[in-house]
Chains A and B, each alone.
Chain A
Amino acid sequence: MAILYDQRPFKTRVADVLANDFKVKAIQKAQDVFYAKRKALVDQVPEWEEFRDEAAELRDHVLSNLDYYLNQFAENATKAGAKVHFARDAKEANDYVLQVVREKNAKMVVKGKTMVSEEISLNEALMNAGVEVNETDLAEFILQTADWNPPSHIVVPALHFARERIRETFHDKLGYEGTEDPEEMTRFVRKRIRDRFLKADIGFTGCNFAVAETGTITIVSNEGNGRMSSSMPKTMICLMGMERIVPDFAGLDVMMELLIRSSVGAKISNYFSMITGPAKAGEADGPEELHIVIIDNGRSNILGGEFNSMLRCIRCGACMNICPVYRHITGHAYGSIYPGPMGAVLTPLLVGYEKAGDLPYASTLCGECWEHCPVKIPLHELLLKHRVNIADKAHLRPAAEEAIFKTVATVFSNSFLFDYGTKLGAIGMKLMSKNGQMADWTKLLPVVGGWVKAKDMNTLKLKKFRDVYAEYEASKKRK
């Protein structure tokens, strides 16, 4: 899947989601569950804010020395026996992967959950090369089975599938004959994928954190897909975004304190693997060959610039677990594999404003994402920076909008124009009103129409506060 999987207009995508009650309710339930679980855990850690400060600082420390740490990581991973390859973009990454595929004459591969592989459209590249791809994270498996249905969340991407729909999909595509019981379906998948794990030529994983000092890559998972993909196949390919570095093991401690609590409201994931080089001589399992592909894909354009703090992101999903906008439009309205507040910031950086310029406006700038972000990315401020770039610098907003804003801005910067302008406005609104509120037909008007469709709107007062106060002041003086 590419970064953008749905390029219809934002409003169309929103309308689609709003019409899908199950999908919206599923996301709301997930938010409520994660919110309660996270809150209960965070309340038990009085040092939580100190950890956030430390994690943000640690991430910034790494980012401002990223060349040093990447170099150190590459050297130490190589020393440990891994083959490290640097890829500037999706093409370079996929070319390298396909080269390994050819060398190994690989026909079938398994994949643990990795977002960066989605970013570079790895599955498409593999399938075009005739390789059988098996997503092994349960949710990703469901989406793959449903003809690569797009994800609605980065951590739990198949929430928009009701169990009945999953059963039906499994039945139609895989001949599943069981019930829609989640446990029964999970067992079915376990059995089916187990065999793939054991026979796969290559196992793909992502990388949560890469440790510079030791050349270690780490994988977090609950289901064990990352553990299986990195243990069973003879060749392992780890894909990592170049910003995923921590200096040393102590850095893992800080990040792990925050990652899982922020992500799903648990203290720890069931599995956390630290992989340092391929299996050693004499080991009877594990990868005989370990490839680590370090991917830039636009990140060096972000590094050191006004959006630098976005590279702190550890893909925990906390921002979408709290965002009141995401809550109602789900991941699908973003049309990007990176949804929610982090996606609304990151996606335009990766694909440009022409394609994703609507996303920074999918926010009320309420700041809850920032408050929940374990690495304190000021997402609301970054969204605003995008808006300035889009509206003020690139002039990519509709011309009419810009004209309206400029006109209103002129009126609102001069008390004389404001006073008379709003008096005229008040008269105008009075003509369009009924019982002091805008009449029903005004929902057809531009600008106010959207409001009036859903909410009542009071009319402007002919006698404003300034007028009332002037009278009050005069009467006080008379006394």
Chain B
Amino acid sequence: MKIHLFSQCLIDMFYPHVGMAGVQVLERLGCDLTVPKKQVCCGQMFVNSGYNDAAKGAIKNTIEVFEDAEYIVSMSGSCAFAIRDEYRHILADEPEWLARAAKVSERIYEFTEFIVNVLGVTDVGATFNDKVTYHKSCHVTRLMGIKEPPMKLLENIKGLEYLPMNRAEGCCGFGGTFTVKQPEISAVMTREKAMNIYNSGANVVAGSDQACLMNIEGMLDRLYKDGEIDRRIKVMHIAELLNSR
């Protein structure tokens, strides 16, 4: 199956190894991968701040890069949501772009959704020997309604002990530019999320939205450094777990 990978700018800039894990998992599942060099950003961060006009550049670039793809797989849930659900609102008054956006919106899939719902695979043959909890990101879980796929994938990872956390589907406090605009509120929200992760007893927290994970990682590292939690908790994209053998 020919797929185009939407890597997400945060993964591109901060987490290249996550992108590579995604590549390897998908290739192992028989996908013929293209990672377009001209991709940059879905435009979500501008959209979420109300700057729709400014967002159009990034959006149109994304459309141009991906409009001929058969399947597009996004390594990040919130980007997939933006592309699937928000482009049409922003380009509503540009009919030509709207039609092109539709092609992209119809073909975009979130990483776990693609593997489970399109490829029909729930066991990728991974092994990961540790206690893992899972952060159910807002966009993926609630706004896209993707609840089962990541859970099914986790269930089938050998050696993985899944530990539920309190309020797993609660927001981590990232919220796009919220974390920058309202850092004081974001900090207390992320702290609560981090403590829920810590209290789950897990050594690893996974998710499928790198923005949330980056936010959570920043807090967990700080709490550990400040001695507020007594064990280091590793933050991993689900692709990394699926890529472990």
Direct contact of A and B (CB under 8 A): yes
A-to-B contact residues, CB < 8 Å: 11, 14-15, 18, 324-325, 327-329, 361-368, 370-371, 380, 384, 386-392, 397, 402, 405-406, 408-410, 412-415, 418, 422, 425-426, 437, 447-451, 453-458, 460-461, 463-470, 472-473
CB-defined contacts of A456 to chain B, threshold 8 Å: 217-219, 221-222, 225
Q: Return the chain A residue nearest B38 by Cβ.
A: A415
B1-29 interface mask toward A, CB cutoff 8 Å, 1 = contact, 0 = none? Answer: 00000010101111111111001000000
Return B207 CB to nearest CB of chain A, in Å. Answer: 14
Q: Are A325 and B221 in touch, CB under 8 angstroms? A: no
Q: Are B175 and A364 in touch, CB under 8 angstroms? A: yes
Within B55-101, which residues are at the interface with A (CB < 8 Å)? 55, 57-61
CB-CB under 8 A for A469 and B20, given A365-B176, A368-B170, A392-B53: yes
Q: Are A413 and B40 in touch, CB under 8 angstroms? A: yes
Return B7 CB to nearest CB of chain A, in Å. Answer: 5
Q: Are B225 and A405 in touch, CB under 8 angstroms? A: no
Pick from A390, A414, A437, A473: contact of B50, CB below 8 A.
A390
The CA of A18 and the CA of B191, in the complex, are separated in Å by 13
CB-defined contacts of B184 to chain A, threshold 8 Å: 11, 14-15, 18, 450
| Contacts between chains A and B (CB distance < 8 A), count | 205
CB-defined contacts of A366 to chain B, threshold 8 Å: 138, 142, 170-171, 175
Most buried by B among A361, A371, A390, A408: A361
B-to-A contact residues, CB < 8 Å: 7, 9, 11-20, 23, 35, 37-41, 43, 46-55, 57-61, 138-139, 142-143, 169-171, 173-176, 178-192, 214-215, 217-219, 221-222, 225
The CA of A390 and the CA of B181, in the complex, are separated in Å by 15
The CA of A60 and the CA of B11, in the complex, are separated in Å by 42
Q: Are B37 and A451 in touch, CB under 8 angstroms? A: no
Q: Are A463 and B16 in touch, CB under 8 angstroms? A: yes
The CA of A426 and the CA of B16, in the complex, are separated in Å by 14
Q: List 12 A-B contacts (CB under 8 A).
A: A324-B173, A364-B178, A405-B54, A409-B57, A412-B46, A413-B43, A413-B59, A425-B13, A448-B180, A449-B183, A451-B186, A454-B191
Q: Return the chain A residue nearest B214 by Cβ.
A: A458
CB-defined contacts of B40 to chain A, threshold 8 Å: 412-415, 418
CB-defined contacts of A468 to chain B, threshold 8 Å: 16-17, 19-20
Q: Are A392 and B51 in touch, CB under 8 angstroms? A: yes
CB-defined contacts of B52 to chain A, threshold 8 Å: 388, 392
Q: Are B138 and A364 in touch, CB under 8 angstroms? A: yes
Given contacts A328-B192, A361-B181, could you give 12 more A-B pairs where the C-beta distance is less than 8 Å? Answer: A362-B185, A364-B138, A384-B47, A387-B50, A389-B50, A406-B51, A408-B46, A412-B57, A451-B179, A455-B221, A460-B13, A465-B18
CB-CB under 8 A for A325 and B189, given A410-B57, A451-B180, A454-B219: yes
The CA of A26 and the CA of B55, in the complex, are separated in Å by 40
CB-CB under 8 A for A415 and B175, given A364-B138, A391-B51: no
Interface of B, helix, strand, loop or mixed by DSSP: helix
The CA of A444 and the CA of B221, in the complex, are separated in Å by 20
Q: Are B219 and A362 in touch, CB under 8 angstroms? A: no
CB-defined contacts of B55 to chain A, threshold 8 Å: 409
Q: Are B50 and A412 in touch, CB under 8 angstroms? A: no
Q: Return the chain A residue nearest B187 by Cβ.
A: A454
The CA of A422 and the CA of B41, in the complex, are separated in Å by 13
Return A432 CB to nearest CB of chain B, in Å. Answer: 15
Q: Are A450 and B180 in touch, CB under 8 angstroms? A: yes
Pick from B19, B41, B50, B174: contact of A465, CB below 8 A.
B19
Q: Are A392 and B174 in touch, CB under 8 angstroms? A: no
Q: Are B174 and A453 in touch, CB under 8 angstroms? A: no
Q: Are A464 and B16 in touch, CB under 8 angstroms? A: yes
CB-defined contacts of B217 to chain A, threshold 8 Å: 456, 458
Q: Are A451 and B13 in touch, CB under 8 angstroms? A: no
The 6 closest A-B pairs by CB, nearest first: A450-B183, A364-B175, A387-B50, A413-B57, A455-B218, A391-B50
Most buried by B among A324, A380, A391, A422: A324
Q: Are B9 and A412 in touch, CB under 8 angstroms? A: yes
Pick from A363, A449, A464: contact of B175, CB below 8 A.
A363
CB-defined contacts of A362 to chain B, threshold 8 Å: 182, 185
CB-CB under 8 A for A325 and B57, given A391-B49, A464-B12, A465-B20: no
CB-CB under 8 A for A324 and B171, given A392-B52, A409-B57, A410-B57: yes
Q: Return the chain A residue nearest B166 by Cβ.
A: A32
CB-defined contacts of B176 to chain A, threshold 8 Å: 364-365
CB-defined contacts of B173 to chain A, threshold 8 Å: 324, 364
Q: Are B190 and A455 in touch, CB under 8 angstroms? A: yes
The CA of A440 and the CA of B176, in the complex, are separated in Å by 23
